[in-house]
Structure 1
Amino acid sequence: MDVCESLKHARTLMQINLDRRDDFSVRIIDPCHLLEELKCLRVLSFKSFSHEEDLLHDSIGELIHLRYLDLSYTSVVTLPDSLCDLYNLQTLKLSNCKKLKKLPSNMQNLVNLRHLDIKGTELEEMPKGMGKLKDLQILRYYIVGKHEENGVGELGELVNLGGSFRIEKLENVVNSREAWRARMVDKKYMSELCLEWSSDWVGQSLYHNITELVLSGCENCWVLPSLGQLPSLEWLEISDFDKVKMIGGEFYKDDGTDHHCEIPFRSLKTLFISGMPCWEKWESFECDDDDAPFPQLEVLSIWDCPKLRGDFPTFLPSLKDLGIARCEQLGCYLPRAPIIRQLRIFDIQEARMRDVPLSTLESLSISGEQQVEYVFNAMTRTQPTSLTWLEISNCSSAISFPGDSLPPSLLSLYIIDCKNVEFPMQHQQHHSLQSLHIYNSCDSLTSFALPAFPNLKYMRVQRCENLTSLEVSQSRSLQDLSVSDCSKLENIRLPATLSQLRINKCPLLDERIQKKDPHIWPIISHISYISVNGKWIRNDSTS
């Protein structure tokens, strides 16, 4: 009692450190009784005070002048509702109160609170109305509740929050409108933001009906959630995760939860991954063939992942479309896909293809010396029977089309930056080809005639430096012809079917057309639209 009397007018009580082991004669002071006598306190700290029972009594509410209260590292279990009567309280520290699971329900009454430290507590949810604490500057984290009064929208009015901040249980955010109400873009004092979902949130029944999911621009995210647990997911886009270095087992399943051996991504049909500058490894999922992930995946597209080395899923039984571009370090085997229809491989140096099922491929676009050589060798062994689109690019090797002929089903052919590729001037007619594009390729090509391609409709020739003559007059179908950057091209013969002609940077031919050379002008006089170096020439003879 003497101690209490001597502190009756104290304004600061920073440390209570009574250790029974030091002096058995010291009477243990009851904190609750002590507070009843200290009505003038502005600052009170019970930090690290060891007490087996709750420290605070309802009488704490009578300390109406209190500005600072520190209960850090104590064994406090509950806080009295009367704590919320401290309308002058500016700082409340509850750091590492590991037994504390909830805050008083009327926390919204502490309208002058600026600093609320709840780091290291075991809070299960936030009290309602936290948005009324508009002066809050420091709040370590916020737990999103399932109700509007403690949902993520309560963060909207807390525009003064600063420093490091974490939002937990984001699985409770129902829609984008609710997320927007949090007004995170307005929190200009915040230096770091962490978004956190519960470890098995994607496995909850609330998300079982999701069919499409786009995750983009999570620049500070290090790992991907366990999206393989979403049983109805059919479409998935992942882009611009700047910090992700590995996609591992957590992408398929959460190891800490029993998922009854469900097949990961069992319904996924389309997967796009792009803009992953640090992604280096895609770990294989260890399982039996019957439980392999992606059993229904039809489209897989991976772009702009410059550090990715591997691996890929080994077997994709339903894959029809595979596209990979700007993944320069990729060196693994590509997935085995027995029914693939479209294959696009660009800017890859080392990736190895297993047996390409040429019997099912309809569209093939490949870039790089190794890839082009591999495909041409495969064509030597097996003739494609369904291929309608072929694009080869960036190959410096001396390569000839197998058998000096094109696949019989081919409709469109693109040859780009393949200087030493021999163009197949086949002796027998190829009736299917309708579109031909040659760019900076086929240096051995000096003259070109179209008897072998009677049904060609569109033709583009660019930077064929040794081409001197172009004989297409025998074509029965050519409608659109474009020739550019062919410095040696001088002679050209055109069919009556041609309706549009573009000539650009072909100086020898340009001059003859501009002067309406009598040896060449009659050949093109029937064409309605003629462009020379980007300028259309009116052809009055066709009017």
Structure 2
Amino acid sequence: MAEGLLFENSDGSGDQMEILGHKFYNILLQNFFLHETIMDKYGRIKYSKMHDFVHDLSRSIEKAKSPNAEEVPVRVRYLPVDYEHNNIKKEQTSCLRNLFLNKFEDAEFIGNIMFPDYKYLSVLDLKGTSIDELTSSIGKLIHLRFLDLSESPIRNLPGSICKLFNLQTLRLLGCRELRELPNELKFLVALRHFALSGFINVLSWMPPEMRNLTSLRTLSYFIVSDKEGCRIDELGCLNNLAGKLRIWNLEKVGDKEESERAHLSQKKNLEVLKFVWSESSREGNNNDCEVLEGLQPNPNLKGLTIKNFGGDHFPTWTMKMAVKQGNTLDKLINIFLIDCKGCQEIPTLGHLPLLKILRVKGLCNVKSIGPSFYWEEESSKNGVPAFRSLEHLTLENMESLSDWVEAPNTGATAFPRLEYLNIENWPSMTTAPSHEFPSLKRLYISRRCGEVPLTNICKKVSSLTELKIYWNSDVTSDLVEMLLQNNQHLQKVEISYCDNLTQLRVPDTLKSLLRFKIYYCNNLVSIQILKGLSALQHMDISLCRELRELEGEMQESSTSLEFLKISECPKLRSIPNGMDCLNKLSELSIGPISEETDGLNLLNESLKGPHPLLRKLELYGNRKWESLPYELQHLTALVYLKVYGFGIEAVPEWFSNLSSLEELTLFHCGKLKDVRCLRHLTRLRKLSFGGGNSELEWNLIESNPSQFPELSHIPDVYVC
């Protein structure tokens, strides 16, 4: 389109440019000029890859990606520019049609571009450059159709940009320094695509009289104001709008009649709508329900977000997801209801045949999720499951929710395709359904949810591959062990901040488990890891202050485990057997060990074995220990070593065996005086001390490290 190769009939008949472009794009796909197409969640093409043969052909024609301007023919039409090749001759500028300065860093060079010299330029790509200001001479580019300033620090746009009467695409995505848009934007009557983001929070209103831009197909945002020419009715004439539209500051709309003047129901190509009211508190009664009633969309809608709605109930079309003439919004793929804090009921959603993603957050006044959540009473269908296509469900911050009932019996299992369930912060919940969730793969539980309802939700779940539980004092050992026992295909388990968890038995049936992580469970006393974790690659047990027993057998993980962390559990008295068999281990962090046991010997046991791939090791000790674990000397593949909290006075001579060591950290070793043996570690590039207040550290602070000959070969020596 920017090249001027797509044409529309002047009488409006025939295909629009965008449709023609899609047809040509599909021809390229069908003939394998492009392939490996990536689609978004609405089925639209995001991008495709160029076929290798086409790429090679284009490179052979281009000769080089960014040619030296000295070698570029005078009549070149397409020119990408980089930092090294930016000497564009004046005689070349008059023939240029496309100029790409994508991610170019030289702001001075860009700022000095004499735009009048580029009089036939149709494409100017400044995405990701360091430009912070455009000169007014850009208004001379009267043939410009495409301008991209995305991801640049541009602060303002000159008014002369509104003289670009042929401009079809203006992209301002991620322009976080931009504070306002020119008031004369209404004169860009050819503008079809206006994409903006990154500075929306600082905009108070849109440029006035946007209604004149009747060619617009893409408008990312519209910020409502009560100023003349900036109200919501400016959208009324923009019936060609397509794709996604976000409307902000809806609290500034007066009533239903005013919101209806946006004529959203007539915009048949709009696929995604986001309605946002201001987060600031609004005292007394509001007209949010009236306003939303007037914003009924077209039946082709695929995505709907309602945020900060302040009414105590949704309007009828939202509650039934059906608009005028009884048209159901049956093309909806995702729905987000966010922070609608006054609402007392969730709409009926289970009947939507294509709904895949549902997120309900911050509906603090909803007390019950009843049968109407699944079906309207008069339309319940036998044999048709509720939420038949739903894949992702999130219910969070439902602080008044006490009851979530079972789906009505229609002869089919509800949520048959649900793969992801996130439940968070239901402090008042007493009852919950026990659906089978036959396809559930990922379960996330966080904050207060209640043991009984959680047990109900989880007791029939048997298909999980990922389980994450955090910040939840209601989760018990029985619940976690039930989930581990019933879900034999689990691959990832992460549990944290669960203070009601006291013990944990990991069953031997988890043959697919890859990652196992437990941290900050302050009352966890024992963990028993049984045999059978033959696929385990990553295990992290840390910051569990009461943990005493860590028992189990690690032999079956010998050919898989690469990362092991058992650290900052100061009361720990045991470690699993078989750590000497972990031949694939590349990273290990262990200690401190309880003073009630022979901790130094346990550390030695953990370091036994050849460990030929171990590259990174962190050891946490005890200031009473005057030596390091002697098994350390055999770990000759180590590249990084951290020694924390030992009472050693000297680095032992056998340290010279660690000939591959490149980085060494010695923290909280307050008695350390002698590091002479480090002179043998010729690969050491970084040495750090800290926290120990040792005599050695003070000497290093008060003098130049180069005065220590044993350290002179180390480029970076730090005292933290």
Q: TM tier, shorter chain? A: 0.5 to 0.7
Structure 1 residue identity aligned to 2:632? V
The separation in 1 between residues aligned to 2:433 and 2:264, in whole angstroms, is 46
Distance in 2, Cα, partners of 1:170 & 1:382: 62
Given the alignment, which residue of 481, 486, 493 partners 1:364?
A: 493
Alpha-carbon distance in 2 for matches of 1:336, 1:142: 50
| Matched ranges for 1:98-497 at <5 A | 148=263, 163-165=285-287, 166-167=289-290, 169=293, 172-173=296-297, 195-198=314-317, 199-201=319-321, 206-285=328-407, 287=409, 291-308=412-429, 311=432, 313-327=434-448, 329-331=450-452, 332-333=454-455, 334-351=458-475, 352-353=479-480, 354=482, 356=484, 359-367=488-496, 368=498, 371=501, 373-376=503-506, 383-392=532-541, 394=544, 396-403=546-553, 407-408=557-558, 409-415=560-566, 418=569, 419-420=571-572, 422-424=574-576, 426=578, 428-438=580-590, 444=597, 445-446=599-600, 448-449=603-604, 450-452=607-609, 453-461=611-619, 469-470=628-629, 471-475=631-635, 477-484=637-644, 486=645, 488=647, 493=655, 495-497=658-660
Residues 331, 354 of structure 2: 8 Å contact kept: yes
**Matching residue's letter, 1:398:** R
1:526 aligns with 2:641: no
Distance apart, 1:430 and its partner CA: 0.8
Is contact 2:469-2:495 (8 Å) kept?
A: yes
Contact preservation (8 Å) 2:356, 2:389 = yes
State the AA in 1 paired with 2:484. V
**Quick one: distance in 2 between partners of 1:191 and 1:302?**
23
More displaced 10-residue stretch of structure 1: 137-146 or 265-274: 137-146
Deviation at 1:258, TM superposition (A): 3.3
* Residues 412, 435 of structure 1: 8 Å contact kept: yes
Contact between 1:364 and 1:391, CA under 8 Å: does it hold in 2? no
- In structure 1, what is the equivalent of residue 164 of structure 2? none
Overall identity of the aligned pairs, in %: 18
Equivalent residues of 1:144, 1:151 under 8 A apart: no
Q: What CA distance in whole angstroms lies between the structure 1 residues aligned with 2:294 and 2:681?
A: 68
Q: 3-state DSSP class of the match of 1:296?
A: coil
Q: Classify 1:173/1:258 alpha carbon distance in 2 versus 1 (closer, same or farther; 3 Å).
A: same
5+ long unaligned stretches in structure 2? 1-232, 237-251, 268-282, 509-527, 692-696, 716-720
Give the secondary structure class of the aligned counterpart of 2:504: helix
- Aligned-pair distance for 1:345? 1.9
Alpha carbons of structure 1 residues 339 and 151: separation in structure 2 relative to 1, 3 Å = closer
Q: CA deviation at 1:427?
A: 5.8
Corresponding residue for residue 106 of structure 1: none
Compared with structure 1, are the counterparts of its residues 274 and 501 closer, same or farther at alpha carbon in structure 2 (3 Å cutoff)?
A: farther
SS of the aligned residue for 1:472 comes to: helix
Cα distance in 2 between the residues matched to 1:360 and 1:275: 30
Contact 1:246 1:281 in 2 (8 A): yes
Give RMSD over aligned pairs.
4.8
Paired residues in the alignment total 388
Relative to structure 1, the CA distance from residue 541 to residue 395 in structure 2 (aligned partners, 3 Å threshold; closer, same or farther) is closer
Distance 1:478 1:144, change over 3 A: same
Task: Report deviation, 1:272.
Answer: 3.0
| SS class of match (1:401) | strand
Q: Does the Cα contact within 8 Å between 2:447 and 2:471 map onto a contact in 1?
A: yes
Query: How far off its partner does 1:237 sit?
Result: 2.6
Structure number with the higher helix fraction is 2
Q: Which residue of 2 aligns with 1:507?
A: 670
User: Which residue number corresponds to residue 32 of structure 1?
Assistant: none
Secondary structure of 1:446's aligned partner: helix
* 1:264 alignment partner, SS class: coil
Q: d(CA) in 1 for partners of 2:402 and 2:593?
A: 34
Distance 2:334 2:550 in 1: 45
TM-score (ref. length: structure 1):
0.57
Give the AA of the match of 1:420: L
Q: CA deviation at 1:400?
A: 2.5
User: For the structure 1 residues 398 and 236, does the alpha-carbon distance in structure 2 shift closer, same or farther, using more than 3 Å as the test?
Assistant: same
Superposed CA deviations along residues 240-263 of structure 1, whole A, max 9, x for unmatched, are: 223334434333333343345521
Residue 220 of structure 1: CA displacement?
A: 1.8
1:184-204 CA-partner distances (Å, limit 9, x unpaired): 99xxxx997754243422697
Determine if contact 1:413/1:435 at 8 Å carries over to the other structure: yes
**Residues 54-101 of structure 1: CA deviation (Å, up to 9, x unaligned):** xxxxxxxxxxxxxxxxxxxxxxxxxxxxxxxxxxxxxxxxxxxxxxxx
* Letter aligned with residue 474 of structure 1: H
Residue deviations 1:476-529 (CA, integer Å, cap 9, x gap): 543333444x25466675733333333333423xx44xxx522x5346553212
TM superposition score normalised by structure 2:
0.45
Aligned residue type for 1:412 = F
User: How many Å separate the matches in 2 of 1:321 and 1:149?
Assistant: 37
What is the distance in 2 between the residues matched to 1:328 and 1:465?
A: 42
Determine the C-alpha separation between the residues in 2 that align with 1:209 and 1:339.
29
